[in-house]
């Protein structure tokens, strides 16, 4: 009949390239912004989250669906696990995928500017003025002068 949609699971799994020993790659739309598979904005926008829901049920509040394989297009249920944002960031850092400092594509500062910020702050220049001067928020300047950000810079 016109207007009837196939069940969600059927529509979802039809867009997956299955592998016996590797990732099950999403073949539907992939966001150019973040690289994750996109499924259905009304149901669950990210394909790996939809795979979790279809296989395991609801995702607990404040939990994320993480990839053990680090493949953003993977929807294989045994490559997915639940974790908090903290666990996600620790996993990212442990695997060497955490981008910081001048490696980050949107960085505004470099090691030399960070040294200058610390020197100027030590000489009495206020954090708000340093933020304006270097084009970053005062909270970022605070983290820099407290050595909670850009810790690698001596």
Its pTM stands at 0.65
Q: What is the mean pLDDT of the chain?
A: 89
The whole-number pLDDT of residue 33 equals 84
The whole-number pLDDT of residue 64 equals 95
pLDDT score of 127 more than 70: yes
Q: What is the mean pLDDT of residues 26-48?
A: 86
Q: What is the mean pLDDT of residues 31-35?
A: 87
CA torsion angle for 44, 59, 66, 56 (degrees, to 10)?
Answer: -90
CATH architecture assignment, domain 8-94: Alpha-Beta Complex (3.90)
**By percentage, how much of the chain surpasses pLDDT 70?**
89
**Confidence tier at 2 by pLDDT (50, 70, 90):** low
The whole-number pLDDT of residue 98 equals 67
Q: What is d(CA 129, CA 141) in angstroms, rounded to the nearest whole number?
A: 10
Domain edges within the chain: 8-94, 101-145
Q: What is d(CA 66, CA 81) in angstroms, rounded to the nearest whole number?
A: 5
Segment 51-103, tens digit of pLDDT:
999 999 999 999 999 999 999 999 999 999 999 999 988 888 788 776 666 66
């Amino acid at each position: 009949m016109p207007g009837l949609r196939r069940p969600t699971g059927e529509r979802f799994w039809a867009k997956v390239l299955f592998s016996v020993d590797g990732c099950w790659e999403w073949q539907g739309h992939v966001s150019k912004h973040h690289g994750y598979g996109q499924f259905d904005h009304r149901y669950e926008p990210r394909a790996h989250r939809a795979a979790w829901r279809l296989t395991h049920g609801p995702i607990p509040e404040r939990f994320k669906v993480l990839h053990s394989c680090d493949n953003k297009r993977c929807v294989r249920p045994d490559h997915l696990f639940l974790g908090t944002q903290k666990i996600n960031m620790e996993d990212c850092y442990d695997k060497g995928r955490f981008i910081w400092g001048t490696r980050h594509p949107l960085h505004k500062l470099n090691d030399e500017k960070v040294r200058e910020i610390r020197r100027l702050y030590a000489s009495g220049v206020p954090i708000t003025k340093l933020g304006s001067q270097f084009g970053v928020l005062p909270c970022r300047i605070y983290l820099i002068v407290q050595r909670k950000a850009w810790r690698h810079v001596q």
